[in-house]
Amino acid sequence: MFRRSLLLIIAILFLGATAHAQKAEAYRFATIGSIRSIKTCDSVLALLTKLKQNHGLQGYIFLYGRPAAIRTARQSVDRCIPFRDGYDPSRIVLVEAPPKHHVSIVMWIIPPGAEKPVP
């Protein structure tokens, strides 16, 4: 009887720890403060490489700034994405975030089951 109770407690603890450890969370991959730098393309290509290595991941790119700056940032990001090289455009979501005074591009990685980030 004691042995059965002990095994039941161990099983419950193990399953609880496993369920807690498997909760996926989105994480910030990169933040870029200048849209005209070479860092933009380097960061976009690094994000795409990460997505290509793990087919379950999704990439979100938030574009912050005034409307004209957001258009420029979108063009800059679009120029950096080589879709012809096997990158899947459906796994990248570009989001025009609410207007801000400063321009920035924030990239997120979202594992399966994780909540999507909000700008």
CA 48 to chain centre: 10
Query: Above 90 in pLDDT, residue 8?
Result: no
Q: Within a domain: residue 106?
A: yes
User: Is the pLDDT at 15 greater than 70, yes or no?
Assistant: no
Predicted pLDDT of residue 85: 73
Residues of the chain with pLDDT > 70: what percent?
77
- Is residue 62 helix, strand or coil? strand
Query: What are the pLDDT digits (tens) for 31-79?
Result: 988 776 678 888 988 999 899 888 899 999 999 999 988 888 888 888 8
Q: Answer yes or no: is 60 within a domain.
A: yes
CA distance 5 to 26: 38
In the prediction, which pLDDT does 23 show?
77
Q: List the CATH number of the domain containing 75.
A: 3.30.1330.60
- Which residue range(s) make up the domain with 37? 24-110
User: Could you tell me if 119 and 97 are in contact, meaning their C-beta atoms sit under 8 angstroms apart?
Assistant: yes
Model confidence at 118, pLDDT cuts 50, 70, 90, reads: confident
Angstrom distance (rounded) from CA 6 to CA 100: 57
**Between these two residues, 36 and 117, which has the higher pLDDT value?**
117
Total domains in the chain come to 1
pLDDT of residue 84: 65
Q: How confident is the model at residue 3 (pLDDT cuts 50, 70, 90)?
A: low
pLDDT at 88: 79
| pLDDT at position 10 over 90 | no
